[in-house]
Structures are given as C-alpha cells and as structure tokens.
Amino acid sequence: MALSEYDIKAIKGSALAEQLSYHPLNEYHPLSHEFLDDHIIMAEKDEQEAELDEWKLWFDGASNLLGNGIGVVLASPKGQYIPFSARLGFDCTNNMAEYEAYAMGITMAIEHQISKLKVFADLVLVIYQLRREWETRDAKLVPYHAYIMALSEHFDEISFHYVPRDENQMVDALATLLAMLQANQNKEMTIHVRQQTRIAHCQQVEEAEIDGKPWYHDIRKYLEEGAYSLGVTENDKRTLRRLATSFFLSGVILYKRSADSTLLRCVDDREAREIMEEVHGRAFSTHVNGHALACKILRAGYYWSKMESDCCQHVKRCMKCQMYANNIHMAPSALHNLTSPWPFSMSGLDTIGSIEPKASNGHRFILVAIDYFTKWVEAASYANVTKMMTELCEQFSITHHNSTPYRPKMNGAVEAANKNIKKIIQKMVMTYKDWHDMLPYTLHGYRISVRTSTRATPYSLVYGIEAVLPVEVEIPSLKVLVEEELDESK
C-alpha cells in the first residue's frame, strides 16, 4: 500500500496488520523491488550541487560621532573571502549606512557575475524590508529600497537572512574602522592583516639564534679577538664596546657581571630551555611564577639576555600552573616585623587536613612546623594527628597556645606555609594517592625558594650557603666549577 499521500511518518505494526486483514487481496502480487520516492534522493543531490554555486554576502554599516563607514565580505563557494570597506563622505543615519553597505555588496556581486546569492545582516529592519515583509516608510530609505530591488533582478536566486551581531563581527569591525579612520578623498588605502603568534615584547629564546649563533657571539668574539663582525656600523661598535665591559671571558665560557659583582654564566637557547624546565617543573621544583623563576635562575648563577620575558612565557605554557593558579580574592596586607630574635627560638605548628581521598598509606593529615625567623619548614603525614600532637608537646615540653579558629591570621606564618605546601603538592602529584611520596620533594623545593618576608631562601639562612640545583651539575655553574675544580674548557 502506498501511504505516503496521507503524510504518515510512522505506523504501528499491529495497526498495519489489522488493515491488511480487513482488506485482503484477491490475486497474488509479487514483491516489488522498486522504491516509490526514488526521485527524492535525486533532489537532495541536486540541492548539494546547488550549494556549490551559491555565494554568500555579509554587510554592515556604522555611524558615530567620528564619521560613517560600511563593510562588506563576499564569500565564494570554495571558501575565498573578499573583504571591502569604505568611508562615507556625507552625513547619514545608521539605517542609511546599512543600505549603503548592501548596495556596495550587491554591486560587487554583480561585477563577479554571481547568479545565486545568500545575504546576511544583523539589522532586523533592513532584512525584513528587503524580504518585502515590512513596508519601507522612511522617506530617506525609500529610494535605497527601490534602487536595491532593481539591482536584485540581476540574480537568478537571492535570499536574505538575519544573523546575530556576534556572527557578523568581521564586517562590523570593517565598518567601525573606516568610520573612525580619516582616509584621503578619492584614494584607496591598503590595510595589511597578518597573524602574529607571539607577544612582541616577550621574544622567545627560539628566535634569538636565527643564524645558528648564540646571542653573546659578538661579545665573546670581541673579548677573545678584539674584532667586530662584518658590516657593523660605528654606532654598533660603540654599543658593543660598552656592553663588553659587563662581561668576563674565562676560557670558552662567558660570564656576566651582576650588580653585586657575582659572575653569572651566559647560556645559549638550548641550555636556557633546559634550565627553565629543570628549575620550574622537575624534581624539587615549586612551579613559581615567571619573575620568581628568573630570580631563582639568577641565584643559581645563569644569565641570558631575555631571561625574564622567557621565564614568564614558559610559565604561561605550563599546564599545571594554569590548572592550579592562585585565586586571590583579597588585597595584599602589610608584612609584620619578626617576633623571633634568632633562628629556631620560636616555632609554630599546624595541621593540614583531613585530606580526601586519603593517601595510599592511609594518611589523611600533614603536620607542619615552621621556624618564624628562617621560615624553615618541616612536615610529616599522619593517619591521626590529635593524639600525636598531645604526645609531641609532652615529650618536648612545648607550651601549646591555640589561635582563634575564626581568625587564622593569628598564626599567619603557619597558615601561609600550609597554603604554599598544598599548592606545591597539587602541581607535583601524578595521581591523587601519591601526595605523601611528594612531600619530601615539596619541602626541599620550599626551602630553596626565596621567601618574600626575608628576601632569602630558608636553606641559605640555616646553612649559610645556597643549595646546589640538579641543573648546576648538568650545566656547571661557577660555584660548581670552583668547588669541584673542573676545567672550564670542557
């Protein structure tokens, strides 16, 4: 039975069976293998072919105190976009500017001999007037409407569609640009648009060595041979001589004299990337921000020309730094004077927890102790911390003072240490149950990081010397060279 003429989309199986039982066929009819609506499939194919010949047009107009501008983008079926914009040299309303933009766009389409056109705009009034669904009553718009309707006769098919302003941003930007830009009369202006993938003031170390030579090649050549590179001007020679006074050449290694007369080893782009990766995100690393990372590398004894900008860009590319970034919801407060007269004369204790889910060893708490003078931190994980705190105070004769629960600032030093330890552990852990294994690495990373209150590392205040970073063994700093008496030429 042919039921398509009744526009039936779906039929229940029992209803179809009852229909066939009430209307049996007198003679046997063989099953037909032909589909009745085969022409519909062919129509869909024709529709796809029709879209290949259809062009698209977006237009917009802008009118403000600075002037009037129009923008048009014509798109071919193959995805080629042709933008065009113009500044109107006469006063007009925003609706007039919209009609001017469409008039320019439809003229461009006629010049390209387009037969099928789909038009998009973000102004409902103009779209419905072009569809002839709304009547054009404004005396200023009636001539535009009649002129455009006459131009529309050049097309075999033309349709008008409304789009939100968010989907019409390109022509809106073109119209606004020309409305604000003072162009010379009767002269065209070329605007070059290109994509820039890197921030201009943060040049990366990958771009520093375009010719395969390190950034300090000219300085080292001048200190070693007293010669300049070919093709340099007198001004460049004076600049090179001035820069060379801040550097020192020892063997094949170039050092930079810092403000406190410390010698910093100059590194190339490969070594710079390795140092940033090691100090920022590997073992004993705390994922500090870009400026703190640059300071940490300087304290380790390394230098390159764009260190701070490269460190900031390296931190921006770190996935864990973006995932666990600080959410600061309060203004910074002033730091208070130290209440401890000498190292380890006064300490504070606090706990972190309970931590859910618990670690693989069953621990859910972290006991944190901090020395108020050096900011040295000790921490250990426990399954139950209440009983352990009581026994600890009795064993070492510790006078226990509780701070107000509603004012954690009463014990601000420990609270700040707790926050930093939790933040570092978050960036170090691989799985949620191995945080207790990362605790020793977290403590060492905290101890070798510069504290804001003391402007020094807790490690240096306790031991009187900075800790040796793993990268200092791979790329020997001056401190390691002197200590191990290594040959600088190797």
Query: At which residue do the structure tokens 């080893």 appear?
Result: 265
Per-residue pLDDT at 403: 62
Q: Which residues pair with 68 in a beta bridge?
A: 63, 88
Q: Identify the DSSP state of 467.
A: P
Tens-binned pLDDT, residue by residue, of the chain (490 aa)? 444 444 444 555 666 667 766 666 666 555 555 555 555 554 444 445 545 678 888 888 888 777 888 888 888 888 888 888 888 888 888 888 889 988 888 888 888 888 888 999 888 888 888 888 888 888 888 888 899 888 888 888 888 988 887 777 777 777 777 666 665 556 666 666 665 555 443 344 444 455 678 888 888 888 888 888 877 888 888 888 888 888 888 888 888 888 877 888 899 888 888 888 888 877 777 788 888 888 888 888 889 888 888 888 888 888 777 777 666 655 666 666 656 777 888 877 777 877 777 788 788 888 888 888 888 888 888 887 777 777 777 887 777 776 665 555 556 677 777 778 877 777 777 776 777 788 888 888 888 888 877 788 888 888 888 888 877 877 877 777 777 766 654 5
Query: Would you say the pTM of this structure is higher than 0.85?
Result: no
CATH number of 347-474: 3.30.420.10
Structure tokens, 399: 């006078």
For residues 109 and 53, the answer to whether their CB atoms sit within 8 Å is no
The CATH class that applies to domain 55-180 reads alpha beta
The C-alpha atoms of residue 353 and residue 27 are separated, in whole angstroms, by 85
What is the residue type of 212? G
Structure tokens, 425: 């552990």
Q: Identify the DSSP state of 451.
A: B
Cα of 256 vs its chain's centroid, Å: 33
For residues 266 and 256, the answer to whether their CB atoms sit within 8 Å is yes
Cis peptide before 357 (omega within 30 of 0): yes
Instruction: Judge whether 55-180 and 347-474 match in fold.
Output: yes
Per-residue pLDDT at 424: 79
Query: Side by side, which strands form the sheet with 67-75?
Result: 81-88, 67-75, 54-64, 116-121, 157-162
* Burial letters 459-490, b for 16+ CB under 10 A, else e: bbbbeeebeebebbeebbbbbbbeeeeeeeee
Domain 216-324 has CATH 3.40.50.300: no
Per-residue pLDDT at 1: 44
For residues 290 and 312, the answer to whether their CB atoms sit within 8 Å is yes
Q: Kindly give the interhelix angle for 169-180 and 94-111, rounded to the nearest 10 degrees.
A: 110
DSSP secondary structure, 17-30, as one string: HHHHHHS--SS--P
Residue 265, φ and ψ in degrees, nearest 5: -75, 130
Q: Which residues pair with 366 in a beta bridge?
A: 352, 381
Q: Identify the DSSP state of 431.
A: S
The C-alpha atoms of residue 222 and residue 244 are separated, in whole angstroms, by 8
Alpha helices in 114-256 (DSSP H): 124-130, 142-151, 169-180, 217-225, 234-244
Per-residue pLDDT at 87: 84
Per-residue pLDDT at 229: 80
Cα-based angle 346, 347, 351 (whole degrees, multiple of 5): 160
Domain range list for the chain: 55-180, 216-324, 347-474
User: What are the CA-CA distances from residue 281 to residues 319, 320, 428, 434 (Å)?
Assistant: 10, 9, 8, 17
Per-residue pLDDT at 45: 43
The C-alpha atoms of residue 174 and residue 179 are separated, in whole angstroms, by 9
What is the Cα Rg of the chain in Å? Answer: 37
Per-residue pLDDT at 251: 82
Cis peptide before 354 (omega within 30 of 0): yes
Quick one: which of 110, 100, 96, 114 has its CA closest to 59? 100
For residues 58 and 175, the answer to whether their CB atoms sit within 8 Å is no
Per-residue pLDDT at 442: 84
Q: How far apart are the first and last CA of the chain?
A: 93
| Overall residue count recorded for the chain in this entry | 490
